[in-house]
A and B are shown apart, each in its own frame.
Chain A
Amino acid sequence: EPEVTQTPSHQVTQMGQEVILRCVPISNHLYFYWYRQILGQKVEFLVSFYNNEISEKSEIFDDQFSVERPDGSNFTLKIRSTKLEDSAMYFCASRRVNEKLFFGSGTQLSVL
């Protein structure tokens, strides 16, 4: 089965630093998503992206967050100035029209 690939699997950063989480969605997928899961809590929607623009975002996705599809294959999530509470597992997902989401294995972000 095709896979969504996320790198790195674990990222450690200092508070206030910028981080970029990288994802390679499945090649013929058109819709892209970021979710996050704070330890011990449920998986939460952050943002959806289609046709090179954000189609929906949650209240978590404030001005510190941005997403980009810089080329035909990558989909990135940038956090401009990380906070301790940004520590979480971040999942990328993608899908085709009217089909289920495929999730990546996640990037564990630790903000110190």
Chain B
Amino acid sequence: AQSVTQPDIHITVSEGASLELRCNYSYGATPYLFWYVQSPGQGLQLLLKYFSGDTLVQGIKGFEAEFKRSQSSFNLRKPSVHWSDAAEYFCAVVGESGTYKYIFGTGTRLKVLA
């Protein structure tokens, strides 16, 4: 069965520091992978997606993610974090049913220190 694991529940970084959020997936074929961000009281905003092609994907707000098939990973990175990046981040994979059912990870809550 498809699954997504985000090993880090909480991460704290200082403003200006680099960031990497981990995501591992379990999927039988080439996955469609996504990163969403949820600010407090807000909905889910898509940061970036991977369908095929270049394994390094650029997203909004300066984020990027790299698809590594050999490691079943799709880690999210940002070279320099801003205080406004504090939020919860969800990795998701599209399920195998063909109906675009997204399977979400449990999320990583990012705290940014001034």
A43 at the interface (CB under 8 A from B): yes
B34 at the interface (CB under 8 A from A): yes
B101 at the interface (CB under 8 A from A): yes
Stretch at the interface among B63-71, B74-82, B102-110: B102-110
Q: Kindly list chain B residues whose C-beta atoms are within 8 Å of the C-beta of A91.
A: 43-44
B84 at the interface (CB under 8 A from A): no
A interface size (C-beta, 8 A)? 22
- In the complex the two chains form, is B43's CB within 8 Å of A45's CB? no
Q: How far is the CB of A59 from chain B (nearest CB, A)?
A: 13
Which of chain B's residues has its CB closest to A58's CB? Answer: B101
Q: How far is the CB of B38 from chain A (nearest CB, A)?
A: 8
- In the complex the two chains form, is B46's CB within 8 Å of A48's CB? no
- In the complex the two chains form, is A45's CB within 8 Å of B103's CB? yes
- In the complex the two chains form, is A42's CB within 8 Å of B49's CB? no
Q: Kindly list chain B residues whose C-beta atoms are within 8 Å of the C-beta of A41.
A: 106
Partner of B43, one of A33, A100, A106: A106
Which residues of A are at the interface with B, using a C-beta cutoff of 8 A? 6, 31, 33, 35, 41-45, 48, 50, 55-56, 91, 95, 100-106
**12 A-B pairs (CB sep. < 8 Å):** A6-B43, A31-B100, A33-B100, A42-B104, A42-B107, A43-B44, A43-B104, A56-B97, A56-B99, A91-B44, A101-B46, A102-B46
- Other A-B pairs beyond A35-B102, A42-B106, 18, CB < 8 Å: A6-B43, A33-B100, A33-B101, A41-B106, A42-B90, A42-B104, A42-B105, A43-B92, A43-B102, A45-B101, A45-B103, A48-B99, A48-B101, A50-B99, A91-B44, A95-B100, A100-B49, A101-B46
